[in-house]
Structure 1
Amino acid sequence: MWMNRTSGERRVKAKKGVNLMQTKSKNAQWKVDWEVQSGAKHSITTIDVNKNKAVNQGDALGNVEVMQLDFEMENFTSLSVTRRINWNIDYKGQSPQSDSEKVVTELTVVQRDIQAVIPLAMDTEIINTAILTGRTVAIPVKMVSIEMNGAVTDISAFVQCKSTNEDIVKVSMNCDYVFVNGKETRGSMNARVIFSYEHLSAPLELTVWVPKLPLQVELSDSNLSFIKGWRVPILPDRRSTRDSDGDDEDDDRRLNRGCTLQYQRSLVKVLTQFHTTSTEGTDQVITMLGPDWQVDVTDLVQDFLKVANPRIAELVDRTILVGLELGVSVLKVRGDIRHESTLAHEGPRE
């Protein structure tokens, strides 16, 4: 303990379970006396500090280390425990301190000499395909402690955690995985999740990539003409749909013996770029693999491909567009139902 006065009285108030074992004078010029009063819930230790002899004016200036207090914690079974100690200092010849001038000290005692805590992730990059599919992308995380003797202990069940920006990446309530669920708004090269264990903490730094929107829909042929001389049987469900229309032009294009004209087919491909931003505040966009590369995400979004007018064209095997009748329609990639947005569209023409 440090002092900058010639004498004074210290009162140390602590909850039961925190015991002041002894005080040690750290300077021969100072005399330290102490007395403990134990109550049902608290113990109060009064420490009287006085100078043994006069000192020079120069010695009285600044702080002087006067004494050392040794505390003991008892009755705790967890890996660590934190207790509060209230300090109250009364200088002789002066009015007692107000409550605002009192000092509170927190003492943390651990059963092991832990030097650091480290989050361990299966990967440090997340490609946020959840924006396209609505399906969560997660990376498992474990937390370990490193002791002075080199021992490594799994402390995953005892940590706390928080993402510094949930618009980029999120962390589970149990701190056992980081994830994205499609509600994120951007990526980052230095997304951070902070893991804490008692008085120690450590960040997990991640790179999060997000898809560039709108997506790019490509058709091998966007003008689907009927194939001259090629006719196919009308399937029962197609026959009923067309017969109900009653259009004379349909009858002209339909053979009397249950056949119709065959239109061309087009292969559907959906492309995008995944990008992220550099350090916070710069907003510099960085593209995965480079600005000239695109990623084929057709398999991810094929369930969301929709033809705006299904009488004009239809999807076969999810990614093959087949013409049905003359007209113009639009092929869209509809986002997950939570987003209710059109991620991309392309207009096939008949």
Structure 2
Amino acid sequence: PPDPVFLPAELEVLEVPEFYRLQRVDQDVAPNSSLHTRSETFLLLRAGSQPLVQATYAPFSIRQVTGIPASPGPPQAWAIRAVSLESSVSPAEHTARVLFHLHGEWDHSRARDLPCVTLHAHHRGRVARGTCHLQAPLGVCVVELEIPPRWFSLGSLHSHRSHRRDSSPLEPLEHPEPAELHYSVGECGGQEREAPRFLGMLELRAGEPERRQEVWLDEKVLLRVPNVPLRPGQHFTATLALRHNFTADSLTLRVKAKKGLQVVSARPTIPSTWSVHLERSRSPKHSTAVVTCQRLGDIPAIPASSRVSELAAFLHLDVAVENGTGGLAPARPLTWQVEYPGQDPEAQKDKLVWEIQVSERDIRALVPLVQELEILNTAPLTGIPRVIPVKLVTVEAGGGVSELTDPAGCESADKQVLQVSDSCDLVFVGGKESRGARGARVDFWVRRLRAELSFSVWAPLLPLRVQLGDPILEQLRGWRLPGGPDSAVVESEDPAEEPERRARSCRPQFQRTELRVLAHFVAHPLDGGRHLSYLPGPEWLLDVTHLVAARTRVQDPRVASLEAGAVVVGREPGVTSVEV
């Protein structure tokens, strides 16, 4: 069949930071093209407002808004990311916190128009709601939603477990119950503009296990300490446990605490089994506690069901974080040492140093804020890194959000996919990565707070596909261009020779054709499998001609030349190739 005839109008997308023309794998020319219509497919990345499509056929051009019509209300649709800060709640910690922040580029001059976000919690037909107002300059807010106490009891459940006659109306939950979290965006004080979006699940627990850290002081004595930041004025309890085969009749525990910490009491878990004596002393920089423990009777047998741990708690130490010490270092060490009667003095030098974190503020979470969670790794094609800025913030009880000023640590889980800067303020791809991936993780931490981000990274699949609109460029008969080999201006003495001289000063004109460089962008599976994910699908290629224009050349420039990296122009008869 003859080649389709269509108007060579140039289509371009405006008001979009990044877009790519798409072409089907089995397609050579744009579909549905004629002298009256033109159809092309574009992939829009980081689209903020509604895009404009501009068609140009010099000297004429026209623009048209495309996309889904905007819903009633403000013209800009806010892109919002939700970060749930708790996976579970309990009667003791019954507040569910969710941070919301603007995702993508937004107009900071419209700070007064920032919307409100409503968090909805659904459980067994009941609903609890909380709202916050996004605030400049970070474009964030936090909803602190208090879960009703009855949600943690069987009496609130309309299920088979609630009709038992022997059930108390406020009997605790036997197993964690799921609650659904949704959120919606709307004008503050007005109606919600959209249906609530699903956020995730929240577990309701009758009791939350204590977060603690366990370290061995020696082969038979284990120390359990809380693994949470503390505030001045708070107390915490450290517990010592013994293996079931512990045989010594006495032991001495020495605890040396940095200024601002003090052991206030020592008590045995079972007073009839151990006697405990506490001696304390203080110096300008440290406080020291010596706890002498003497066995009074046999340690009770450990039940068979608990033999897995083979440990029995025998001593509790209450430690105070003194008031007025907020200006001291946030990490304060405690030195622990166990001694036995008749022990070799050299063995008594083994000590364990454990640090507690002290903070004036009740910081509950570390959250990394980014504007994008998807990266198109074009660095292998352009040599220019793709960078996403990261801003680390902390969330306090009460909903306060502040930028992190302390140095943080960070690491990319797979450096062959994604990199993170040493200062933890940039996530980037530099061109040396070997593949893409969906769910590429970057971890962040400061003290005992940890957070992570999960990115989709799409990498070009090599080799690229070079496509010419017509691989054969014919000479245009009767058309010539200035610039032949004898084009120098020379006066002809014989007027009859003037036409022949002019012919020698021109060169033949050849056809020109469009050049397209196309590529699949793929993500490899994290488990090392061979199944690739394609952006946006395996049937589509992305037009990357503009990205590789500076690296595209014609092998023999005498036969053809390249204009603007996208048009091949014939110059003289011959055969050549286009290389990237």
SS in 2 for 1:214: strand
Q: Identify which of 139, 147, 154 aligns with 2:388.
A: 139
Aligned position for 2:533: 286
Aligned position for 1:7: 250
SS in 1 for 2:463: coil
SS in 2 for 1:186: coil
Aligned position for 2:551: 304
Distance (whole Å) between structure 1 residues aligned to residue 526 and residue 507 of structure 2: 60
The 8 Å contact of residues 13 and 86 in structure 1, kept in 2 or not, is answered as: yes
The 8 Å contact of residues 12 and 85 in structure 1, kept in 2 or not, is answered as: yes
Counting matched residue pairs gives 316
Aligned position for 1:341: none
CA shift at 1:328, angstroms? 1.7
CA shift at 1:218, angstroms? 0.8
The 8 Å contact of residues 90 and 96 in structure 1, kept in 2 or not, is answered as: no
SS in 2 for 1:63: strand
Distance (whole Å) between structure 1 residues aligned to residue 268 and residue 398 of structure 2: 31
SS in 2 for 1:162: strand
- 1:157 and 1:130, CA in 2 relative to 1: closer, same or farther beyond 3 A? farther
SS in 1 for 2:434: coil
The 8 Å contact of residues 142 and 156 in structure 1, kept in 2 or not, is answered as: no
Q: Aligned letter for 1:193?
A: V
The 8 Å contact of residues 368 and 390 in structure 2, kept in 1 or not, is answered as: yes
In the alignment, structure 1 residue 77 sits paired with structure 2 residue 319: no
In the alignment, structure 1 residue 228 sits paired with structure 2 residue 471: no
CA shift at 1:126, angstroms? 0.3
The 8 Å contact of residues 195 and 201 in structure 1, kept in 2 or not, is answered as: yes
Q: How does 1:201-280 map to 2 (within 5 A)?
A: 201-234=450-483, 239=487, 256-280=503-527
Q: Aligned letter for 1:70?
A: V
Aligned position for 1:45: 289
- 1:229 and 1:256, CA in 2 relative to 1: closer, same or farther beyond 3 A? closer
- 1:234 and 1:68, CA in 2 relative to 1: closer, same or farther beyond 3 A? same
Alpha-carbon displacement from aligned partner over 1:27-46 (angstroms, at most 9, x marks no partner): 43344333344457654432
- 1:317 and 1:64, CA in 2 relative to 1: closer, same or farther beyond 3 A? closer
SS in 2 for 1:192: strand
- 1:59 and 1:273, CA in 2 relative to 1: closer, same or farther beyond 3 A? closer
- For normalisation by structure 1, the TM-score amounts to 0.79
Aligned position for 1:314: 561
Distance (whole Å) between structure 1 residues aligned to residue 249 and residue 360 of structure 2: 38
The 8 Å contact of residues 146 and 153 in structure 1, kept in 2 or not, is answered as: yes
Alpha-carbon displacement from aligned partner over 1:265-301 (angstroms, at most 9, x marks no partner): 1111111111011233324211112111111111211
- For normalisation by structure 2, the TM-score amounts to 0.50
In the alignment, structure 1 residue 25 sits paired with structure 2 residue 267: yes
Q: Relative contact order (C-alpha < 8 Å, sep 6+): which is higher? A: 1
The 8 Å contact of residues 216 and 270 in structure 1, kept in 2 or not, is answered as: yes
Q: Aligned letter for 2:289?
A: T
CA shift at 1:24, angstroms? 3.3
CA shift at 1:150, angstroms? 3.1
Q: Identify which of 278, 288, 292 aligns with 1:34.
A: 278
The 8 Å contact of residues 267 and 320 in structure 1, kept in 2 or not, is answered as: yes
The 8 Å contact of residues 157 and 174 in structure 1, kept in 2 or not, is answered as: no
- 1:259 and 1:95, CA in 2 relative to 1: closer, same or farther beyond 3 A? closer
Alpha-carbon displacement from aligned partner over 1:155-180 (angstroms, at most 9, x marks no partner): 26542212122221111232222111
Distance (whole Å) between structure 1 residues aligned to residue 345 and residue 337 of structure 2: 9
Aligned position for 2:439: 190
Larger mean CA deviation between 201-210 and 165-174 belongs to 165-174
- 1:312 and 1:173, CA in 2 relative to 1: closer, same or farther beyond 3 A? same
Q: How does 1:42-191 map to 2 (within 5 A)?
A: 42-51=286-295, 54-56=296-298, 58=300, 63-72=312-321, 75=325, 77=327, 81-96=330-345, 98=347, 101-155=350-404, 158-191=407-440
SS in 1 for 2:293: strand
SS in 2 for 1:215: strand
The 8 Å contact of residues 120 and 141 in structure 1, kept in 2 or not, is answered as: yes
Aligned position for 2:11: none
Q: Aligned letter for 1:307?
A: V
Q: Aligned letter for 2:293?
A: V
Distance (whole Å) between structure 2 residues aligned to residue 283 and residue 113 of structure 1: 46
Distance (whole Å) between structure 2 residues aligned to residue 149 and residue 298 of structure 1: 52
SS in 1 for 2:364: strand
Distance (whole Å) between structure 2 residues aligned to residue 40 and residue 206 of structure 1: 50
Alpha-carbon displacement from aligned partner over 1:55-109 (angstroms, at most 9, x marks no partner): 346369952332323143675537x711222211122354457268533322222
Q: Aligned letter for 1:208?
A: V
Distance (whole Å) between structure 1 residues aligned to residue 431 and residue 315 of structure 2: 60
Larger mean CA deviation between 118-127 and 57-66 belongs to 57-66
What's the Cα RMSD here?
2.9
Distance (whole Å) between structure 2 residues aligned to residue 21 and residue 280 of structure 1: 49
Distance (whole Å) between structure 2 residues aligned to residue 156 and residue 132 of structure 1: 36
Distance (whole Å) between structure 1 residues aligned to residue 436 and residue 405 of structure 2: 26
The 8 Å contact of residues 375 and 455 in structure 2, kept in 1 or not, is answered as: yes
The 8 Å contact of residues 444 and 451 in structure 2, kept in 1 or not, is answered as: yes
The 8 Å contact of residues 545 and 565 in structure 2, kept in 1 or not, is answered as: no
In the alignment, structure 1 residue 324 sits paired with structure 2 residue 558: no
For structure 1, which runs of at least 5 residues remain unmatched after alignment?
Answer: 241-252, 334-350
Larger mean CA deviation between 281-290 and 211-220 belongs to 281-290
